[in-house]
């Protein structure tokens, strides 16, 4: 559970397999009181050529750029090449989904869409952006999987992310330098630079100072990106999170805490204190932020129809 939520929070290298933590049962989606519904328009951009094939090789899932909601991208020559990924992975990429939206949509997928793996090779001319690639993937899902979806706006319990003390950031949350020559849009490297991940635009796991703790960090990350994956981080964050910090621009941060496993036996709180701060304590003490419960409007994507992919 903890690894699944952490991967969502990091928004990097989101790759699914048959034994992926995404195979866990989806949790509840909260109070369902849609105030508005709207169809998702059919994408206008399309790949010029595309191939969709089932993959039963058991090879490691991989793609030529991260198929996730994050910003990491590079020069592709108009090529999207992905192998041995489940349909949910392509869906997450196409619709730039938040962790809350992923939980909601996964329960609507048929068994084959959660378990079968597919290769997708697709190409277009020029150098499309990552968001343009997303739109072309939407068109491909409609064409080959006969997918139909729509939006619903639901009023549900949420957490608002706010400063714990007005006008004050925590010691481990700093505005990103404007003149940072090392910040690129290449896929996130594994190396660590100055305590932060070497890549930019999303969070990543970093070495913790002590065993038993979890540590993450990010460079050039907006608050909007930071909150996307906070839901169900395995630390009692069981609601969607809305950014109400009022912080504009991008930031560098590191955050370290002692994860609290669900269903912990009595006495676990004492053990947690020995290992380190809870997530809420770390959020406040290290970043100067806190989560406040309230009601809010959340966009949810609803699946109306899906079929097994047509032949190429």
Cα Rg for the chain, rounded, in angstroms?
20
Work out the pLDDT band at 87, boundaries 50, 70, 90: very high
Return the pLDDT at 91: 94
Span of 7-11, 47-51, 78-82 with lowest mean pLDDT: 7-11
Return the pLDDT at 39: 59
DSSP per-residue string spanning 52-109 = EEE--S-PPPEESS--SSS------TTEEEEEEEEHHHHHHHHHT--HHHHHHHHTTS
Closest CA to 303 of 64, 88, 78: 88
pLDDT at residue 137 tops 90: yes
Q: What integer best gives the mean pLDDT of the chain? A: 79
Q: What is the distance between the alpha carbons of residues 33 and 76, in angstroms, rounded to a whole number? A: 42
Return the pLDDT at 283: 95
pLDDT digits (tens, 9 = 90+) for 39-48: 565 557 999 9
- What percentage of the chain has pLDDT greater than the value 70? 74
User: Token digits for 142?
Assistant: 């409609």
For 180, phi and psi rounded to 5 degrees?
Answer: -105, 100
* Helix, strand or coil, per DSSP, at residue 164: coil
Residue of higher predicted confidence among 36 and 55? 55
- What percentage of the chain has pLDDT greater than the value 90? 48
Closest CA to 188 of 170, 174, 206, 161: 206
Return the pLDDT at 202: 76
Percent helix, strand, coil in the chain, to 5, is 25, 30, 45
pLDDT at residue 281 tops 50: yes
* CB contact at 8 A, 224 and 98: no
Residue of higher predicted confidence among 287 and 10? 287
Strands annotated E in the chain: 34-39, 49-54, 62-63, 79-86, 117-123, 148-163, 173-175, 192-193, 196-197, 203-205, 214-222, 241-243, 250-257, 289-305
* CB contact at 8 A, 5 and 234: yes
Return the pLDDT at 253: 94
Q: Which of 3-17, 53-67, 188-202 has the highest mean pLDDT?
A: 53-67
Q: What is the distance between the alpha carbons of residues 70 and 97, in angstroms, rounded to a whole number? A: 10
Report the DSSP beta bridge partners of residue 85. 118
The residue to which tokens 């955050």 are assigned:
255
Span 83-104, average pLDDT: 90
Span of 31-40, 45-54, 172-181 with lowest mean pLDDT: 31-40
* CB contact at 8 A, 93 and 118: no
Span 23-32, average pLDDT: 31
Span 61-70, average pLDDT: 88
Return the pLDDT at 34: 43
pLDDT digits (tens, 9 = 90+) for 186-235: 444 455 666 787 777 877 788 888 888 888 888 888 998 888 767 655 56
């Amino acid at each position: 559970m903890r690894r699944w939520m952490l991967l969502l929070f990091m928004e990097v290298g989101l790759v699914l397999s048959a034994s992926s933590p995404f195979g866990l049962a989806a949790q509840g989606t909260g109070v369902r009181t849609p105030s508005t519904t709207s169809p998702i328009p059919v994408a206008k951009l399309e790949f010029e050529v595309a191939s969709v094939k089932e993959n039963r090789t058991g090879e490691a899932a991989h793609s030529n750029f991260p198929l996730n909601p994050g910003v990491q991208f590079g020069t592709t020559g108009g090529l999207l090449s992905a192998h041995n990924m489940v349909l949910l992975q392509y869906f997450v990429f196409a619709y730039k989904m938040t962790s809350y939206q992923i939980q909601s949509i996964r329960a609507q997928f048929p068994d084959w869409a959660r378990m079968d793996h597919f290769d997708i090779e697709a190409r277009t001319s020029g150098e499309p952006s990552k968001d343009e690639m997303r739109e072309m993937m939407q068109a491909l899902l409609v064409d080959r999987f006969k997918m139909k979806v729509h939006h619903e706006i639901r009023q549900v319990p949420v957490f608002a992310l706010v400063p714990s003390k007005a006008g004050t950031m925590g010691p481990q949350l700093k505005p990103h330098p404007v003149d940072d020559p090392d910040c690129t849009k290449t896929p996130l490297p594994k190396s660590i630079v100055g305590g932060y991940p070497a890549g930019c635009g999303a969070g990543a796991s970093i070495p913790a100072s002590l065993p038993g703790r979890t540590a993450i960090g990010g460079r050039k990350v907006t608050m909007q990106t930071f909150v996307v994956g906070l839901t169900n981080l395995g630390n009692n964050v069981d609601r969607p999170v809305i950014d109400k910090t009022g912080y504009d621009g991008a930031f560098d941060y590191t955050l370290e805490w002692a994860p609290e496993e669900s269903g912990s036996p009595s006495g676990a709180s004492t053990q947690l204190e020995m290992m380190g701060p809870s997530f809420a304590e770390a959020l406040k003490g290290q970043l100067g932020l806190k989560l406040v419960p309230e009601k809010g409007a959340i966009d949810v994507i609803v699946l109306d129809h899906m079929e097994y992919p047509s032949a190429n």
